[in-house]
Structure 1
C-alpha cells in the first residue's frame, strides 16, 4: 500500500513538472488571459436592486419637487383670486371663501411637510388634521362650485368662477395622476422583485 502511494505521488510530480515545462515553452504573446469571472449572483442581485431603488427614488424626488412648486403657485393664486373677488359672486358667496381657505390649507400642508423633518410626531398629528380638513373642504367647495355651473353667468364674477372651476378640475386631475403614479410604482416594484427573484434562481 505504501509503495503504491509513493509511486502515485512520484507520477503526479513528474506529470506536474511536464505540464509546467510545457507552459514555460509557450511564447508569452500566445498566452491569453481569460476574462474576469462574472460577479456572483448575490452581488448581481444587490447591484440591480440598488440601481432600481435609486431610479425609483430619483423619480419620486422629481415628482415631489414639481408637485411642491405647482401647489405653491396654485395656493397663492387661489388666495389672491378669492380675496380680490370676495364680493363679486352673489349667487354663491361661499366660493371666494372656499378659494381663500383652500389656498391657506394647501400652504399649511406644504409647511407641515417641511416641519416633518424637525418634529416627526407633532407634524404627523397636525398633518393628519390639516389633510382631513382639506379633504372635507375640497368636497364642500366642489358642491358649491359645480352646483351653480348653469346659473353663475351674471350672478358671479366670471373670472372668479372659472378659476375656481379650473382649480377643482386640476385637483381632480392631480388626484387621478397620483393614483396612476402609485399604481405604476407598485407594478414596477413587483416587476423588479420578480426579476431579481428570477436572477437569484438562475
Structure 2
C-alpha cells in the first residue's frame, strides 16, 4: 500500500538533477554575459590596437539577454506553443549571434596573436618609433577566452539541435531508426 513503481525514485532523482544542472548552466551563462558586458564597459578605451574588442564584449554579453525572449513558451495546458514570430526571432538571433561570433574571432584572435609575438613593442611613455598601440592584456585575454568558449558552446548547441531534429524525424517516421 502506498508503494510506487520500482523506478520512480530514480526518475525523480534524474529529473531533479536535470533541473539543478539547467539552473546552474543558466546562471553561469547569465554571469558570463554580465562579466563580458562589465569588462567591455570598464575597458572601452583601453585597447587602441583593436578598439572593437571591448565593443564585441559588450554586445556579446547583452545579445543573449535581448534575444532570450525568442525561446518557446508554454500555453495554459503545458503544451509548447509554436509561434511564427518566435521562430523568426530565433532564426534572426541565431544568425546575429553567429555573425557576431565570427566578427569577434576576426578582431580578437589576430590582436591576441600580435600582442603575444616576441617582437611586439608597445608604445609606452616616450617610445613612439618602432612600436605598436597596445591593448590592456587582462581584457584581451578575457575576450580571447570568451570567443573560444562561445565557439565551444555554439558547436555543442548545434550538435544538440541536430540530434533533436534527428530524433524528431525518427519519431515522425513511426519510430523506425536507420543506421
| TM-score, normalised with respect to structure 2 | 0.61
How many residues matched? 142
Instruction: Indicate how the Cα distance of structure 1 residues 187 and 133 shifts in structure 2: closer, same or farther if over 3 A, else same.
Output: closer
Residue matched to 1:87: 45
Aligned with 1:142 (options 105, 121, 138): 105
Match of 1:106 in 2: 64
CA drift of 1:106 comes to 1.6
Name which one, 1 or 2, has greater alpha-carbon Rg: 1
Change (3 A) 1:158 1:141: same
Report the CA distance between 1:184 and its aligned residue.
8.4
* 2:114 alignment partner, SS class: coil
Give the equivalent residue in structure 2 for 1:116. 73
Counterpart of 1:40 in structure 2 is none
Query: Which structure 1 segments of 5+ residues have no match?
Result: 1-46, 189-196, 198-202
TM-score, normalised by the number of residues in structure 1:
0.55
Q: Using CA pairs below 8 Å that are at least 6 residues apart, which structure has the higher relative contact order?
A: 1
User: Does the CA contact (< 8 Å) of 1:108 and 1:130 recur in 2?
Assistant: no
Structure number with higher helix proportion: 1
For the aligned residues, what is the CA RMSD? 4.1
CA distance in 2, matches of 1:163, 1:94: 14
Tell me, yes or no, if the aligned pair for 1:71 and 1:106 is still in contact at 8 Å.
no
Q: Aligned in 2, Cα 1:185/1:127: closer, same or farther, shift over 3 Å? A: closer
